[in-house]
Chain A
Amino acid sequence: MTTFLEDVSAYIGFDRSDSDRLATLHPVLAPDFERMADHFYACIMRHEGAHQAITGGDAQVQRLKRTLVAWMDSGLRGPHDDAFFELRARIGRRHVEIGLPQQYMVTAIGVMRQDYHAVIDRALGHDAERRDAALRAVDRLLDLELAIMLQTYRLDSEDRLRRNERLATIGMVAATIGHDLRNPLGVIESSAYILRRVVDDDRGLRHLDKITNQVRACNRIVTALLELARAKPPQLSTVDARALVKNALVMVAVPDQVQLEIDIDGDHSLLVDVGLLEQAIVNLVTNAVQALARKGGLVVIRVHRHDDAFDALTVFDNGPGFDPDMLPRVFEPLVTSRPSGTGLGLALVLSVAERHRGVAVAENRAEGGALVRILLPSKLPEGAAA
């Protein structure tokens, strides 16, 4: 079976000779890379729609320019192998994450193409044959770059669409079931309340406790479903990270053999919807605690500044980690590895992150154990009201 890279290279006609030609072209074009990156981002910042994807101000633009120079560098140098493909695929995925409309990728490649052409014309204009060959090689490279980015973009947005459709379906079912279950749960709870005043033996009271606790567990599931279905935009406010985490932890039952560690700089604050974030923290810590329940271990809740644009909330443990087969799908609703799991916990975490215009990632730590990180924008997007 041919890979996408082989397939599209054959279609475009990009081959070994192009790779070789681009490599010899590299020293000719490299001195202009930085100027081209400056020009590229000047174009983006002039464009209303495109520059909205950049939320981190000048520092982010500087970082993106360095990335663009590295991109030009590796594009010309090659090798145009699987690693090259993977790096380009990541750029496509990143564009989906930041919500960059794909027509901007096409126009962005157009800007790069014009600049490459201008530099080649200037440097090789005296040698028409060499110039034309260089232009053809660069064109094929850019076609290849674009094809990979758009392909990844399409696959990733299809994934997202599927997940959103699934969430919407769950949402509709949840709203109905949620409403229908709340009354029966209310009846059970209020009956237990009345019985508590009538029953006076320990055994009866113990069972009433069990009924009350299980009703609460059901309520939590219903609440999680309804939260997932909630379409309301988050109500952002600036809150003390430590207080937020501590409030959330009150809602998690932690057995003796599991230790919790909170790792937050003195007065770190976050710009979040308190209710949503608490729910996300509860879900993450509950997952970690359940993973450790048998053998015990450590759960760390860390909040730190990720970069100029994002704060990071990370929860990790030293348990068995995610099942590697499940890892790519852990955020999908109704996907769970626990027999008693609802498959809603991490779906809700991702939904909370996305409603904050952030992202959530899950991975297994090199040292062992699971890690989930939520990146939350530190600032409101420009023009948005608090």
Chain B
Amino acid sequence: MTPGSVLIVDDNEDLAENLGEALEVEGFECAIAHDGDSAIAKLADRRFDLVITDLRMTPRDGIAVVQAVRSRSATTPVVLMTAFAGELQIDQARKAGITAMVAKPVDTSRLVALVREQLDGEPEP
């Protein structure tokens, strides 16, 4: 049994792949999407234990991803990654129901620790 499944959404393909690889090394099962639309399609296909998403993407941004997760589950942790968000966007993201926010560039070891912390003690459904 893996420690959990994670969906990583970022329009920078290298970054999404790297974060996925770093989490896979830790034993997590990872899927990757490069925009909001394809992330939402993946969320419709199956459930993930945790979602990490970038904010600024097109088509459909990170807020839309957060809303898609929340429409299916009230408890799945969602981590928002952002390089430079205005107050308004941060506020929107909070309202949409993010669990945590990390500033870009993401410190990989910190992100791994955050994912572990979020999934620790989460009972398998």
Interface residues of A (CB under 8 A from B): 175, 178-179, 182-183, 185-187, 189-191, 193-194, 197, 215, 219, 226, 232
Q: How far is the CA of A178 from the CA of B21 in the complex (A)?
A: 25
Chain B interface SS verdict (over half):
helix
Residues of A within 8 A of B108 (CB): 189-190, 193-194
User: Would you call A182 and B19 a contact (CB within 8 A)?
Assistant: no
| Binding stretch for chain A, among B31-39, B99-107, B115-123 | B99-107
9 closest A-B pairs by CB: A186-B105, A190-B18, A193-B108, A182-B83, A182-B104, A185-B105, A183-B12, A190-B108, A179-B83
| Interface flag for B1 (CB, 8 Å) | no
Given contacts A179-B83, A193-B109, A226-B84, 8 further A-B contacts (CB under 8 A): A178-B84, A186-B18, A186-B104, A191-B18, A193-B22, A197-B25, A215-B105, A219-B105
Residues of A within 8 A of B109 (CB): 193
User: Would you call A183 and B15 a contact (CB within 8 A)?
Assistant: yes
Q: How far is the CA of A187 from the CA of B87 in the complex (A)?
A: 26
Please pick, from B14, B19, B83, B87, the residue contacting A178 in the complex, using a CB distance under 8 A. B83
Q: How far is the CA of A159 from the CA of B120 in the complex (A)?
A: 56
Residues of B within 8 A of A183 (CB): 12, 15, 83, 104-105
Q: Mark B19-47, 1 if CB is under 8 A from A, else 0.
A: 10110010000000000000000000000
- Closest residue of A by beta carbon distance from B109: A193
Q: How far is the CA of A185 from the CA of B106 in the complex (A)?
A: 9
User: Would you call A194 and B21 a contact (CB within 8 A)?
Assistant: yes
Shortest distance in angstroms between B101's beta carbon and chain A's nearest beta carbon?
14
User: Would you call A187 and B14 a contact (CB within 8 A)?
Assistant: yes
Q: How far is the CA of A312 from the CA of B75 in the complex (A)?
A: 48
Shortest distance in angstroms between A167's beta carbon and chain B's nearest beta carbon?
16
Shortest distance in angstroms between A88's beta carbon and chain B's nearest beta carbon?
43
Q: How far is the CA of A185 from the CA of B103 in the complex (A)?
A: 12
User: Would you call A194 and B104 a contact (CB within 8 A)?
Assistant: no
User: Would you call B21 and A179 a contact (CB within 8 A)?
Assistant: no
Interface residues of B (CB under 8 A from A): 12, 14-15, 18-19, 21-22, 25, 56, 83-84, 87, 104-109
Task: Tally A-B pairs: CB < 8 A.
Answer: 51
Residues of B within 8 A of A190 (CB): 15, 18-19, 22, 106, 108
Q: How far is the CA of A186 from the CA of B8 in the complex (A)?
A: 14
Residues of A within 8 A of B22 (CB): 190, 193-194
Q: How far is the CA of A314 from the CA of B103 in the complex (A)?
A: 31
Q: What are 6 A-B pairs at a CB distance below 8 A?
A: A182-B105, A183-B15, A187-B14, A187-B18, A193-B22, A194-B25
User: Would you call B19 and A175 a contact (CB within 8 A)?
Assistant: no
Residues of A within 8 A of B14 (CB): 187
Residues of A within 8 A of B87 (CB): 232
Q: How far is the CA of A193 from the CA of B12 in the complex (A)?
A: 17
- Closest residue of B by beta carbon distance from A218: B105
User: Would you call A175 and B84 a contact (CB within 8 A)?
Assistant: yes
Residues of A within 8 A of B105 (CB): 182-183, 185-186, 189, 215, 219
Residues of B within 8 A of A215 (CB): 105
Q: How far is the CA of A219 from the CA of B104 in the complex (A)?
A: 9
User: Would you call A187 and B84 a contact (CB within 8 A)?
Assistant: no
Residues of B within 8 A of A175 (CB): 84
Q: How far is the CA of A191 from the CA of B56 in the complex (A)?
A: 22
Q: How far is the CA of A160 from the CA of B44 in the complex (A)?
A: 55
Shortest distance in angstroms between A16's beta carbon and chain B's nearest beta carbon?
61
Q: How far is the CA of A174 from the CA of B84 in the complex (A)?
A: 10
Q: How far is the CA of A232 from the CA of B19 in the complex (A)?
A: 31
User: Would you call B106 and A186 a contact (CB within 8 A)?
Assistant: yes
Residues of B within 8 A of A182 (CB): 83-84, 104-105
Q: How far is the CA of A219 from the CA of B106 in the complex (A)?
A: 10
Known contacts: A215-B105, A219-B105. The answer to whether A187 contacts B25 by CB under 8 A is no
Shortest distance in angstroms between A378's beta carbon and chain B's nearest beta carbon?
28
Q: How far is the CA of A185 from the CA of B14 in the complex (A)?
A: 11
Shortest distance in angstroms between A158's beta carbon and chain B's nearest beta carbon?
31
User: Would you call B107 and A189 a contact (CB within 8 A)?
Assistant: yes
Known contacts: A187-B12, A215-B105. The answer to whether A194 contacts B18 by CB under 8 A is yes
Residues of B within 8 A of A226 (CB): 84
* Interface hub of A178, A186, A187, A232 (most chain B Cβ within 10 A): A186
Residues of B within 8 A of A194 (CB): 18, 21-22, 25, 108
- Closest residue of A by beta carbon distance from B107: A189
Residues of B within 8 A of A179 (CB): 56, 83-84
Q: How far is the CA of A250 from the CA of B106 in the complex (A)?
A: 21
- Closest residue of A by beta carbon distance from B26: A197
